[in-house]
Chain A
Amino acid sequence: MSEWTRSRRRDAPSGQYDDRSSGPSRWSHCRKRGVDGSLRANREAEGDDRENGSYRHADNRHASFTTPESAGPVSRCGRQADWGSQVEDDEMRRDVHRDMQRYRRRILGAEVTQRERKTSSGSSGSCDSREGDNMETDEAVLLRRQKQINYGKNTLAYDRYIKEVPKHMRQPGVHPKTPNKFRKYSRRSWDQQIKLWKVKLHAWDPPTEDSQDKVLDNIEELGLDDVMDIELDFPTLSDSQDAPASVTAHSLSLEGEDCLGTPVKLQKTEDPESA
């Protein structure tokens, strides 16, 4: 019901969604599509005319920075009711299930190799199936994570990154690596990984004429809270560092994921747990 009124309202040039997704923040500026999936290019001109700060959250964060993950239950429930979103969810669910099967096959392959190696070196095979046991299979969690990943991939920066750095050239710890949605992580740890991934991706943001201003803006936006937040969150990353060596192939090379390396790229980020 509400979705329909909303979509009707979208007919007007300043529909709610349009406002949200075409604002002038740096984060939204390199987004290919807005929250509603519309290509941003069509609205770029509109967005530039808007005054800075007119669509900000109370905490001075730009509205378009809100990710689908933290969009809040109201909007998500509303969207699920309409056919368009139902079909999209359906599509994503099928994709996630397909990915899950591929991932299972890959694990199986890796376990076989590992067992052979273990046997020859004489160590016990007690944690052979650890990776399999560790797999996240909760559909709701996987869908939520996939949405976050899609959101990060739906950026010009990501397009530039995969074009400029071919897969075999990517180095763990140096280049951004998409978090592995099939591994068990706490919500907090996962959100942090996504956050760090997106921060790293921003190194590939397209250059802009006023990039100097943007950097200054970012520094202004970067409050002490965020630094604290990241430092507090950081220890949770270690829970994947003591993963067995057998899974190195699949594990997220988090060891190099230090945020100190990219201080300028730090951004105000959502913390859904505390929000």
Chain B
Amino acid sequence: MENSTEDYRIQSFDLDTQVLLKTALKDPGSVNLEKVSNIIVDQSLKDQVFSKEAGRICYTIVQAEAKQSNGNVFRRNLLNRLQQEFKGREETRGRSLQEWVCYVTFICNIFDYLKVNNMPMVALVHPVYDCLIRLAQPDALMNEEEVDCLVLQLHRIGEQLEKVNGQRMDELFFLLRDGFLLQEGLSSMARLLLLEILEFRAGGWMLSSTAHKYYYSEIAD
């Protein structure tokens, strides 16, 4: 198995927690999975690097638990905790932009990694859209942090999301075009990010090689 500690980025936890997480990965039945799910969510809300990759560790624990006992205690607690945080998302955003961005990153990462019979979890589709559409509101577009988060999520899960619900993707992209075109005071970095994601979707969730060159090549001289 390739589940070395580094794969799951759990070095930032204290030693006891690292042991707990490692045990959860190998023998989920022997630990309190509700506690494990809370630890992972708490860390995701604090640590942006972790929130981008937390889906992977969650996926492994879900698989291990299903294989070991056909159970889904971990997944249930994880999702219900996510739901709890979802309810308070506007307060979270008001309190700490960073935590809000971490939350969106995390829920999108879970959406990306955890599947039910190889299909996205339907329960998460609307919540994920709600978060992304919140990021596309004028006040959020003024924060580069939020724009950055929004386009990153769309790069990762945009295509899957559109497949399960194209209408809401259209709704989201109306906002993005409006923002790009009409919103005053938008930084040029934010505009660049928006333009790229508009092109990205228009190209069937791919950048043409010339577009890629435009956005990603080092500027010659």
Find out whether the CB atom of A87 lies under 8 angstroms from the CB atom of B79: yes
Q: How many A-B residue pairs have CB under 8 A?
A: 70
Partner of B69, one of A33, A84, A85: A33
The one of B69, B73, B121 that contacts A87, using a Cβ cutoff of 8 Å: B121
Across-interface contacts of B34 in A (CB, < 8 A): 10-11, 38
Q: Does B137 contact A (CB under 8 A)?
A: no
Q: Is the CB of A87 within 8 A of B116?
A: yes
**Residues in A whose Cβ lies below 8 Å from that of B116:** 87, 90-91, 94
Minimum C-beta distance from B199 to chain A (A): 33
Give the Cβ gap from B155 to chain A, nearest Cβ, in Å. Answer: 24
Q: How far is the CB of B37 from chain A (nearest CB, A)?
A: 10
Judge if B167 is at the interface, Cβ distance under 8 Å: no
Q: How many residues of B contact A (CB 8 A)?
A: 26
Please tell me the size bucket of the interface on A.
20 to 34
A90 touching B72 by the CB < 8 A rule? no
* Interface pair A86/B123, CB less than 8 Å apart: yes
Q: Please measure, in the bound complex, the distance between the C-alpha atom of A243 and the C-alpha atom of B57, giving whole angstroms.
A: 51
A-contact bits for B35-55, CB 8 A (1 contact / 0 none): 000000000000000000000
Contacting pair A7 B123 (CB below 8 A): no
In the complex, the answer to whether A86 meets B122 with C-beta atoms within 8 Å is yes
Interface contact B76-A88, CB-CB below 8 Å: yes
* In contact, A83 and B72 (Cβ under 8 angstroms): no
Instruction: Judge whether A39 is part of the interface by a CB distance below 8 angstroms.
Output: yes
Asked whether, in the complex, the Cβ of B76 is within 8 Å of the Cβ of A39, the reply is no
Q: Does the CB pair B72–A37 fall under 8 Å?
A: yes
A84 near B29 with CB under 8 A, answer no
The answer to whether A37 and B80 touch (CB under 8 A), given A86-B122, A91-B117, is no
CB pair A3 B71 closer than 8 Å: no
Chain B residue, CB-CB nearest to A89: B123
On chain B, the residues within 8 Å of A83 by CB distance are 79-80, 82-83, 121, 123-124, 127
User: Which of the residues A11, A33, A84, A90 comes within 8 Å of B71, measured between beta carbons?
Assistant: A33
Q: Kindly list chain A residues whose C-beta atoms are within 8 Å of the C-beta of B76.
A: 36-37, 84-85, 87-88
**Contact call B80/A4, Cβ cutoff below 8 A:** yes
18 A-B pairs, CB-CB below 8 angstroms? A10-B34, A32-B69, A33-B69, A36-B76, A37-B72, A37-B73, A39-B73, A82-B80, A83-B80, A83-B83, A83-B123, A84-B78, A87-B75, A87-B122, A87-B123, A88-B76, A90-B116, A91-B117
Give residues in B with beta carbon < 8 Å to A.
29, 32-34, 69, 71-73, 75-80, 82-84, 87, 116-117, 119, 121-124, 127
A residues in contact (CB < 8 Å) with B: 3-4, 7, 10-11, 32-33, 36-39, 41-42, 82-88, 90-91, 94-95
